[in-house]
Amino acid sequence: KRAPQGLKKGSIMSIITRFAPSPTGRLHVGNARTALFCALFAKANGGQFMLRLDDTDAERSTEAFAQGIVDDLTWLGLPYDLTAKQSDRFEAYDAAFNKLKEMGLVYACYETPDELDLKRKRQRARGKPPVYDRAALELSDEEKTKLEAEGRSPHWRFKLSGNKVSWQDLVRGDQLVDTSSLSDPVLVRADGTYLYTLPSVVDDLDFNITHIIRGEDHVTNSAAQIELIAALAGEGGDIPVFAHHPLLVMADGSALSKRLGSLSLESLREDGIDPMSINSLIARLGTPDPVEAHTEMAPIVAGFDLTRLGRAPARFDPAELHRLNVKLLQSLPYEKVADKLLSLGVNCDDKQTGTLFWETVKGNIDKLEDAVALWQIIQGPVESLIDSEDREYLDTAMDCLPVEPWDETSWSQWTTELKKSSGRKGKELFMPLRKALTGQAHGPEMQNLLLLIGPTHVKNRLKG
């Protein structure tokens, strides 16, 4: 019963992690980091990584966001081995809920949200923590019937044990939560829909999740969830291992939430950020380990260790991501960018030209898209920049052009010759050539550009 979807539970438990976003938005760097941790942990331990869509909130969850999350994970290079969505699994949740009912572990409550709010206000006013007072536990059958006759439908709470729950958190170490300090969690709303808690626990059990890796905003949920898991799994049921990582905050310590739009993977991709720059950075933030630009997952997996995460929030600086992205881009060989360049319209005829182009321009770009403008300089049309006082000089330059075919020595032959003929040197010598040939005052090495632009364009541009 506990192993649907063809999963076999072997004698040696294989590791299964899950990333469980709600499809109510796209992924941003913060939740991508959780996904990465889940994927890396599974990979590092020869386990499996599951994508679970927590889509029980039918109003806010959309198919488009679900697809967006799949696209984002695919783009990041975090393929999942298993997937499930909660909206397919209501039968399993109903069965678990009925089981809890039979065990007397859930109870019907009739307070309206306003009444609960009032209770909490009174508790606070008396300096007490706003914990649910369990008034509903005292209701007699008669009183319940009367409330229902008044048109109230019950919501259902799980009865916490009131004991201390402990677990060994992979990031936070020994954890101890006194469940008598918590409100009994609501599992089912008055309209019959499930809140996150029960479906999450049922899924973690049914899919044999061994490691629950998530943000530390879920720490208090864990105590209640552990009690629920114990109730549902019974004797001999394994409680998953928990790892609650500190959340990502902005470099100045402010919450990520204010800038989520610009920190969505979708917009980072539009900004020309390579997914491996994101992985390289967010896998190491919050650890004492150095951030390096990795173009492959293997070294990221090899250096990954959840226990190296500190307890302080990890700071994310978009500028650091951009710097890393430039570094990573510049470390790539032509073969790794050829397809992408082609799709951007940089259609180098052959590998040799492509390699020369890439080696020439990569130091001058911040993102791959920037290469398009540089390709434009080579392909033309280019509006030559020619100052009137350089006209004669450029005619001399035309006369001094080296013999064809040109090679990597041609630029130096040309400028040596031109220096002799014109008497110019330094900037006076080089700048008019650059401006005439590229239409700009700065750019990549002229030696290579000369070769890439080629004699026909060079002659035309010298003429202006």
Question: Which spans of this chain sit near ligand GLU (rule: CB under 6 A)?
Answer: 20-22, 54, 196, 200, 214, 218
Tell me, rounded to whole angstroms, the distance of Cα 371 from its chain centroid: 25
Exposed (0-12), middle (13-18) or buried (19+): which is 404, by Cβ within 10 Å?
exposed
Task: State the nearest-atom distance from the C-beta of 200 to ligand GLU, in Å.
Answer: 5
Task: State the nearest-atom distance from the C-beta of 252 to ligand GLU, in Å.
Answer: 25
In the complex with ligand GLU, the residue whose CB is nearer, 222 or 325, is 222
In the complex with ligand GLU, the residue whose CB is nearer, 43 or 52, is 52
Whole-number Å distance between alpha carbons of 107 and 133: 13
Residues 6 or more apart from 327 whose CB is under 8 A from it?
293
Helix, coil or strand: residue 198: helix
Task: State the nearest-atom distance from the C-beta of 247 to ligand GLU, in Å.
Answer: 11
Task: State the nearest-atom distance from the C-beta of 304 to ligand GLU, in Å.
Answer: 19
Closest Cα partner for 324 from 266, 265, 370, 281? 281
Task: State the nearest-atom distance from the C-beta of 245 to ligand GLU, in Å.
Answer: 11
φ, ψ at 441 (rounded to 5°): -90, -10
Instruction: State the amino acid at position 329 in one-letter form.
Output: L
Two tokens at 34? 């959780």
In the complex with ligand GLU, the residue whose CB is nearer, 22 or 280, is 22
Count other Cβ atoms within 10 Å, centred on residue 142: 8
Per DSSP, what are the bridge partners of residue 83? 51
In the complex with ligand GLU, the residue whose CB is nearer, 21 or 47, is 21
In the complex with ligand GLU, the residue whose CB is nearer, 196 or 316, is 196
Whole-number Å distance between alpha carbons of 306 and 284: 10
Task: State the nearest-atom distance from the C-beta of 233 to ligand GLU, in Å.
Answer: 17
In the complex with ligand GLU, the residue whose CB is nearer, 97 or 242, is 242
Whole-number Å distance between alpha carbons of 273 and 75: 11
Task: State the nearest-atom distance from the C-beta of 86 to ligand GLU, in Å.
Answer: 9
Q: Which is it for strands 164-169 and 173-178: parallel, antiparallel or unpaired?
A: antiparallel
> Which CA distances in Å does 31 have to 22, 148, 194, 260, 269?
11, 41, 23, 11, 16
In the complex with ligand GLU, the residue whose CB is nearer, 218 or 323, is 218
Strands (E), 54-154: 82-85, 106-109
In the complex with ligand GLU, the residue whose CB is nearer, 196 or 375, is 196
Task: State the nearest-atom distance from the C-beta of 199 to ligand GLU, in Å.
Answer: 9
Task: State the nearest-atom distance from the C-beta of 225 to ligand GLU, in Å.
Answer: 8
Whole-number Å distance between alpha carbons of 416 and 429: 10
Helix, coil or strand: residue 108: strand
Task: State the nearest-atom distance from the C-beta of 31 to ligand GLU, in Å.
Answer: 7
Helix, coil or strand: residue 261: coil
Whole-number Å distance between alpha carbons of 26 and 71: 10
In the complex with ligand GLU, the residue whose CB is nearer, 54 or 227, is 54
Cβ atoms 372, 346 nearer than 8 A? yes
Cβ atoms 279, 15 nearer than 8 A? no
Closest Cα partner for 372 from 359, 383, 358, 385? 358
Which H or E run contains 157? Answer: strand 155-158
In the complex with ligand GLU, the residue whose CB is nearer, 25 or 455, is 25
Task: State the nearest-atom distance from the C-beta of 56 to ligand GLU, in Å.
Answer: 9
In the complex with ligand GLU, the residue whose CB is nearer, 227 or 390, is 227
